Copies of this chain bind each other. A is one copy, B any other.
Amino acid sequence: MNIAIVGLGLIGGSAAKALSGFKDAHVFGIDTNKKTLEKAEADEVIEEGFTSADNILDKMDLTIICVYPEALKDFLNKYKNDFKEGSIVIDMAGVKEYVMKAAKSSGVTKRVNFIGGHPMAGREVGGYDNSLDTLFEGSGFLLVPDEDASDESVETVMQILKHMGFSSIKKTTAEEHDETIAFTSQILHVIAVALSKNDYYYADKAFKGGSFRDYTRIALINESLWSETLMENRKYLLKRIDEFEDEMRIIKQALLDNDKPSLCNILRNDRLLKED
């Protein structure tokens, strides 16, 4: 089985490393950065690296595209006729309506089994040098198969994901993915960034405990990638922000009213629900 990884950054590099030992897989890397390819070859993470996808993709049974959503769209449009007929193509981008529409309109979904993907794992640092063979251990993975992808191709991808270390693999739709991820991931980072703008963010470290350190880490995002994915998902993200602001208003009102029983009730409900 020939596998190409397009983009050997944090996710692509970790995917290549985590593929080690998967059946009879031969892993190849495609990246514009020659140095990265040389490193991955020296690490024996890939068998061979290519600075362009030209004349490569028709030999691949599986292509894993690990680039930003807009670059992914361009890649699909450029190479739509190059993929091996009936092969599997998956992506690793954090938005799925955008990606699935881009795949559909490129026509690639008629030629290959196109399966959208989103690994729920990351680090505060990016690039191949920070990639880890254990990055996906115990993490979730969201799968969004195109309507024309075969059940067999989805099954193959699931086996590969399990080998990579993912422990919760869920098939979902592009819509459910995007509206849910706007909450379970995107708004959390947006809030942490908004907080980091406050002058008190730079208070003496004696004022800061574990919660502060958690928020700080969550605020550390790659601005190029995240400004793309947040913007591509702004329809749902704005809804989640509105819902959050409504809940903040309720707490704020309890504070304004000096209404301790209400405030206590808000805090208590939360705890009880989570212990279910």
How distant is A94 from chain B, measured CB to nearest CB, in Å? 10
Considering the chains assembled together, what is the distance between the CA atoms of A207 and B204 in angstroms? 35
Asked whether A157 is an interface residue with its Cβ less than 8 Å from the other chain, the reply is: no
Q: Which among A168, A181, A204, A256 has the highest number of chain B CB atoms within 10 Å? A: A204
- Top 9 A-B residue pairs of the complex, sorted by shortest distance between their CB atoms: A140-B206, A170-B206, A223-B267, A183-B200, A227-B264, A194-B247, A168-B206, A223-B268, A120-B209
Considering the chains assembled together, what is the distance between the CA atoms of A219 and B272 in angstroms? 11
Asked whether A274 is an interface residue with its Cβ less than 8 Å from the other chain, the reply is: yes
Copies of this chain, whole number: 2
B residues in contact with A141, CB < 8 Å? 206
Q: Which among A210, A211, A212, A241 has the highest number of chain B CB atoms within 10 Å? A: A211
B residues in contact with A180, CB < 8 Å? 200, 203, 207
Give the size range of A's interface with the partner.
Answer: 35 or more
How distant is A266 from chain B, measured CB to nearest CB, in Å? 7
Asked whether A152 is an interface residue with its Cβ less than 8 Å from the other chain, the reply is: no
Considering the chains assembled together, what is the distance between the CA atoms of A219 and B205 in angstroms? 22
Asked whether A35 is an interface residue with its Cβ less than 8 Å from the other chain, the reply is: no
Considering the chains assembled together, what is the distance between the CA atoms of A22 and B169 in angstroms? 52
Quick one: which of B203, B207, B220 contacts A274, CB cutoff 8 A? B220
Asked whether A263 is an interface residue with its Cβ less than 8 Å from the other chain, the reply is: yes
Q: Is the CB of B198 within 8 A of A274?
A: no
Q: Is the CB of B263 within 8 A of A209?
A: no
B residues in contact with A227, CB < 8 Å? 260, 263-264, 267
